[in-house]
Amino acid sequence: MIKVDNISKIYSNDSVETIALSNISFGIEKGEFVAIMGPSGSGKSTLMHILGALDTPTSGTYILDGKEVGKLSDDELAVIRNKKIGFVFQAYNLLPRTTALKNVMLPMMYAGMPREKRVNRAIELLEMVGLGNRINHTSNQLSGGQQQRVAIARSLAMNPAIILADEPTGNLATVQGEEIIAIFQELSDRGHTVVVITHEPPIAEHARRIIYLRDGEIVEDSTNHKHRRVKRGDE
Amino acid sequence: MELSEILSTALEALMLNKMRTALATLGIVIGIGAVIALVSLGQSSQMAVQSQIQSLGSNLLTVMPGAQSSGAVRGASGGGTSLTLDDAKAIMTSPQVTTVANVSPELSRRAQVVAGGNNTNTQILGSTAAYADVRKITVASGRFIAQQDVDSMGKVAVLGPQVVSDLFGDGANPIGQSVRINGMSFRIIGVTASKGGSGFMNQDDIIFVPLTTAQKLLFGVDYLGSISIAAKSEQVMSQARDEVGYFLLARHKLSNPMQADFTIMSQEDMLGAASQITGTFTMLLSGIAMISLLVGGIGIMNIMLVTVIERTREVGLRKSLGARKKDIVTQFLAEAIILTVVGGVLGMILGIMLSYVVSILMSLPFTLSLTSVLLAIGVSGGIGIIFGLYPAQKAAKLSPIEALRFE
């Protein structure tokens, strides 16, 4: 599904070069639930942005579903971000003062889906993340956990094969974090490939595979045999 | 995306930040309104100047002594000695001149005038009774120069209101008192009604005396300074001019009009001279319009640049959800068009209302030029769209993560 080969990312800023990633290679199979861990500045977010086709590596190749992402045009990248990847940000990144429904409908609008179908699918997804009764709340009327669930519903709008989450629980209390991680587990069970960045070991324990990064390099890539499962409490 | 979708997305985005949208619209409204108001006011005052010149009398011809000069350029008045009172009388009585209603022979000089302890330097105009009719002078109190004053070379004077206030103080009634002009005592018989005007056009700063008195007693000459002629109507002006011209050529025994020792000027000539002034005025107006367009345009440019740059993060978010460059640019274009159309219409209304109100307050005629409205809306709208689109295009080119990180 995902194959990165010798990827490096170097930021040059006023003659100072910062190496965010250096020569990283790994692959992720379809349906895997992977946690990427590491201290801040280890390059986790940069890696995630490259995987999400939001950023491009300085060197190396990234093959997604058999296509080399670096060789795609701007519009082809837009289609990948729209249909293949659902991205969940640490800061939720919802449109401010916009209802949950409209936020979830956004990717479907860019896919050109008919309006009626969009509304139905958005309601269905919001119900799935437990926000069926908050469809018309605007983003600033929702708590952090609720906003993140709207963001997850949005990432699922086009039923993407891959869900990428960059510290999805970073801004949340532990209980809300557990709720969110349970949703990811469920998605993984349904066959989505899930990659989650976290620096909280309890969150990472839910993944079946953990990749540790330090200073832009993979220091450990191990299977998590005793991964924990949490039950979702319905709201 | 369909058009309705594009418009509803743009409207939703505009409604997301009502304050920002209101400010952007305000910038456009003021930019467009200012241009329309300024240009229309300028044109109104231009019209006012022209109608003021025409109000001097549209059937008035003035014969000046001196060589024929080209165009509307006028020689020094009173410089020549070629016109006489007999010329004026002959014009009035000749059967060849059929289109002239009245003839006023005039001699005008400046002189020192004393009354009591006060003195002033003013224009002394020797005239006959015809002057009041030809130049549309009315008397506020007393009477004007009469034919018997001219015949008897009477030492009587009619004062303009400015002279009265200079010599006797505001609102005084000087009739029956006397003034000394060049050391000679004159009895005041009347005061004219105010005609307004200022500077060299001031028709209130003047003293009328009988023509004969001015010629013989005051200035010691036997010629005229000018002859004012009222044509029977505005329509026969050019005919009257030709008649008077050929009649005087014949009287002065001149065969070639190029040798004429006099000049005939009509209000049309004055308008011609004035149009040179209003031409400058028009240039000034275009300058003002251009500056207001520039200022309005810069205002619109600033607000559009700021509002769009402020939304770079939103562009990044939309791109990360699968928006193509085209989708982003279309949305911002739609927003800029909505803003400029709404702002343009409001600005047009504001500009028209503003120029209407000011034209009433300043009692100017109200005019509105379509060109200025179109120019204002075209230029401001163009600027609004370009500067709404340019930063959006720039943001759309960034990678989603660069745009999301933008601060």
Matching residue, tokens 């739609």: B334
Under 8 Å CB pairs connecting chains A and B tally to 64
pLDDT the model gives residue B78 = 44
Q: What gap in Å lies between CA B130 and CA B161, rounded to an integer?
A: 20
Q: In the numeric block, which tokens belong to residue A38?
A: 């590491």
Residue B146: HSE in the Cβ half-sphere, 13 Å Cα cutoff: 6
In chain A, domain spans: 2-223
Name chain B contacts of A98, Cβ cutoff 8 Å: 12, 16
| ipTM given for this complex | 0.91
**Residue A225 C-alpha, separation from nearest chain B C-alpha, in angstroms:** 34
pLDDT the model gives residue B196 = 61
Task: Tell me how far CA of residue A156 lies from CA of A64, A84, A230, in angstroms.
Answer: 18, 10, 21
DSSP output for B249-274: HHHTT---GGG-SEEEEEHHHHHHHH
Phi, psi of A223 (to 5 degrees): -85, 135
Contact B322 A158 (CB under 8 A): yes
Q: In the numeric block, which tokens belong to residue B380?
A: 């401001």
Query: Which residue in A95, A91, A88, A87 sits closest to A140, CA to CA?
Result: A95
Contact A154 B321 (CB under 8 A): yes
DSSP output for A95-134: PTT-BHHHHHHHHHHHTT--HHHHHHHHHHHHHHTT-GGG
Matching residue, tokens 């916009």: A98
Q: What gap in Å lies between CA B103 and CA B111, rounded to an integer?
A: 25
pLDDT the model gives residue A114 = 92
Nearest to A110 among B17, B323, B402 (CB): B323
Cα B273 from chain centroid (whole Å) = 13
**Residue B25 C-alpha, separation from nearest chain A C-alpha, in angstroms:** 21
pLDDT the model gives residue B77 = 44
To the nearest whole percent, how much of chain B has pLDDT over 90? 21
pLDDT the model gives residue B336 = 86
Name chain A contacts of B407, Cβ cutoff 8 Å: none
pLDDT the model gives residue B72 = 45
- One-letter-per-residue 3-state SS of A152-189: HHHHCCCCCCEEEEECCCCCCCHHHHHHHHHHHHHHHH
Q: Residue B54: is it exposed, middle or buried by C-beta count within 10 angstroms (0-12/13-18/19+)?
A: middle
**Residue B333 C-alpha, separation from nearest chain A C-alpha, in angstroms:** 17
Q: Name the CA dihedral angle for B262, B266, B269, B274, rounded to a multiple of 10 degrees.
A: 130
> Higher model confidence: residue B235 or residue B109?
B109
Contact A102 B12 (CB under 8 A): yes
pLDDT the model gives residue A73 = 92
Contact B320 A81 (CB under 8 A): yes
Name chain B contacts of A97, Cβ cutoff 8 Å: 16-17
- Give tens-digit pLDDT for B192-217: 988 765 444 567 889 999 999 999 99
Helix (H) or strand (E) holding B350: helix B325-361
pLDDT the model gives residue B53 = 66
- Give tens-digit pLDDT for B11-69: 888 888 888 888 888 888 887 888 888 778 777 777 777 776 666 666 888 888 875 44
Using CA coordinates, name the residue in chain B closest to A82.
Answer: B322
Task: Tell me the average pLDDT of chain B.
Answer: 83
Mean pLDDT of B113-134: 90
pLDDT grade for A133, boundaries at 50, 70 and 90: very high
pLDDT grade for B159, boundaries at 50, 70 and 90: very high
Using CA coordinates, name the residue in chain A closest to B402.
Answer: A55
**Residue A131 C-alpha, separation from nearest chain B C-alpha, in angstroms:** 21
- Give tens-digit pLDDT for B258-303: 778 888 888 767 767 776 776 777 678 778 777 877 877 787 788 7
pLDDT the model gives residue B54 = 65
pLDDT the model gives residue B197 = 54
Q: Is B311 on the interface with A (CB under 8 A)?
A: no
Contact indicator for B223, B106 with CB cutoff of 8 Å: no
Phi, psi of B287 (to 5 degrees): -60, -50
Q: In the numeric block, which tokens belong to residue B282?
A: 């028009």
Name chain A contacts of B16, Cβ cutoff 8 Å: 95-98
In the predicted structure, residue B74 carries a pLDDT above the cut 50: no
Strands B184-192 and B156-159: parallel
DSSP class of residue B213 equals I
Contact B318 A75 (CB under 8 A): no
pLDDT the model gives residue A49 = 93
- Give tens-digit pLDDT for A9-62: 998 887 888 899 999 999 999 999 999 999 888 999 999 999 999 999 999 999
| A2-223 CATH fold | Rossmann fold (3.40.50)
Name chain B contacts of A49, Cβ cutoff 8 Å: 401
Contact B1 A79 (CB under 8 A): no
Q: Residue B359: is it exposed, middle or buried by C-beta count within 10 angstroms (0-12/13-18/19+)?
A: buried
Name chain A contacts of B402, Cβ cutoff 8 Å: 55
Mean pLDDT of B331-337: 87
